[in-house]
Chains A and B, each alone.
Chain A
Amino acid sequence: SQKIEQNSEALNIQEGKTATLTCNYTNYSPAYLQWYRQDPGRGPVFLLLIRENEKEKRKERLKVTFDTTLKQSLFHITASQPADSATYLCATVSGTYKYIFGTGTRLKVLA
């Protein structure tokens, strides 16, 4: 069955560094991937979408890549800030609207 995997271990980095989060998918060739941010006690908030024919997408300090050969998407936050601390989820669609989410990676940016 289609699966999305994210590193479940928390990622701690120093303020100002670049955070890189990984999303791997198996048994599937998604047309696009979405990335969401989730803060404690809140619902996920959409950040970026990248299509399979796009190698890279940027939005302010965020950058997402999509490697269909490796079956992987990388999510980068440059010049990270403590306010970037949250859980980041990747998601895709199986079929038409059947969304599949990864379990998320918790990021902590240390001041």
Chain B
Amino acid sequence: DAGVIQSPRHEVTEMGQEVTLRCKPISGHDYLFWYRQTMMRGLELLIYFNNNVPIDDSGMPEDRFSAKMPNASFSTLKIQPSEPRDSAVYFCASSFSGSNQPQHFGDGTRLSIL
């Protein structure tokens, strides 16, 4: 079984550039989550979707961040314009319905903004 697939695994870009992170959730999962992980703040929930609909985006740090889920098998997290403080590892996770269901994480995108 394929797990959650994220791309790219690494991204290095200059500040001001647009960054797009991609995620393919596990087939059949109806919840999708985007997280950001830093040493200082740990793993923080940015936004989550249910059946492709954004439910809670209160964790999105600024308007520079946006996320979409055009269909059940694809989601994007976009940062425009990017800033050095956005440097972090971004994870996508998916799960079945039920808040006690385990989350299945991808291996993340390590983003460095110079």
Binding site for B on A (CB under 8 A): 31-32, 34, 41-46, 49, 51, 89, 93, 96-104
**Chain A residues touching B, majority SS:** strand
State how many angstroms separate the Cβ of B50 from the closest Cβ of chain A. 8
Q: How far is the CA of A32 from the CA of B101 in the complex (A)?
A: 11
How many residues of B are counted as interface, with CB atoms below 8 angstroms from the partner's CB atoms? 25
Contacts A97-B48, A98-B56 hold; do A46 and B104 have CB atoms under 8 A apart?
yes
Of the candidates B31, B102, B105, which one forms a contact with A43 in the assembled complex, judged by CB atoms under 8 Å apart? Answer: B105
Of the candidates A42, A44, A93, which one forms a contact with B99 in the assembled complex, judged by CB atoms under 8 Å apart? Answer: A93
State how many angstroms separate the Cβ of A111 from the closest Cβ of chain B. 27
State how many angstroms separate the Cβ of B93 from the closest Cβ of chain A. 7
Q: How far is the CA of A43 from the CA of B99 in the complex (A)?
A: 19
Contact A43 B91 (CB under 8 A): yes
Contact B45 A98 (CB under 8 A): yes
With A43-B106, A45-B105, A93-B100 known, 20 other A-B pairs at CB within 8 A are: A31-B100, A32-B100, A41-B108, A43-B4, A43-B105, A43-B107, A44-B43, A46-B102, A96-B99, A97-B31, A97-B33, A97-B50, A97-B55, A99-B33, A101-B35, A101-B43, A102-B42, A103-B42, A103-B43, A104-B42
